[in-house]
Structure 1
């Protein structure tokens, strides 16, 4: 009788004779860092889309409703600042006066552009 060779186990399957190694602290820290970067990118992008959408909505309101146009532009600026502050919070950075001023300056860009377009 011929002995059949043992079939080779595919590499993608779990091998009970060779369990996976436990992740090290560095591996976990690296994974958490990447997760924070991805989460902040998603949050900032989503909130900035909301901010720009409010500004675009202000453009399409009738010119007789100037107060509503300005209000939507200011809301867009506020949401832009919230987007930057949320990124700081996701990365566990304290909100200092310098960072708050940066958030307001970056968040105000859609509002300033919107006000320029509305008053043009």
Structure 2
């Protein structure tokens, strides 16, 4: 609309959209999560998984030690299951990090079963 002088006013600049508001048809781009967050999440999940399964293996060793010594097959079976659970915990923890299972970690998984063998048969 022209003013009294007959000239049109300059066009008004479009209103600036506030960054915190959502405008229909213009969704916000998702913010990528930093790699460090993913790394921390992997470590937390792998430690939780390993410690939970490792505690299960230790419980099996305690059960094997508390069983009557006159039945060694039950002790051997529980210790074998404890060893398998420990190794599976180590393999799963390395799989979460998308790495090959390495020998030292597998030996750490066998630790409860080896301690159980010492407590049950070699002591």
Q: Could you say whether these structures have the same fold, taking a TM-score greater than 0.5 normalized by the shorter chain as the test? A: yes
The reply on whether 1:117 has 2:119 as its aligned counterpart is yes
Distance in 2 (CA, whole Å) between partners of 1:104 and 1:29 is 27
Task: Give, in angstroms, the shift of residue 73 of structure 1.
Answer: 1.0
Cα root mean square deviation, aligned: 2.2
**TM superposition score normalised by structure 1:** 0.72
Distance in 1 (CA, whole Å) between partners of 2:29 and 2:90 is 36
The reply on whether 1:45 has 2:51 as its aligned counterpart is yes
SS of residue matched to 1:64: coil
Q: Which residue of 2 aligns with 1:82?
A: 88
CA contact (8 A) 1:82 1:103 kept: no
Which stretch shows the higher mean deviation, 44-53 or 64-73?
64-73
More helix by share: 1
Structure 2 residue ranges without an equivalent (≥5): 1-17, 22-27
**TM superposition score normalised by structure 2:** 0.71
CA 1:30/1:104 → structure 2, altered by over 3 Å: closer, same or farther?
closer
Q: Which runs of 4+ in 1 moved over 3 A?
A: 20-25
Question: Which residue of 59, 67, 75 maps to 2:65?
Answer: 59
Q: How many residues get paired?
A: 100
Task: Give, in angstroms, the shift of residue 70 of structure 1.
Answer: 1.3
Structure 1 residue ranges without an equivalent (≥5): 1-16
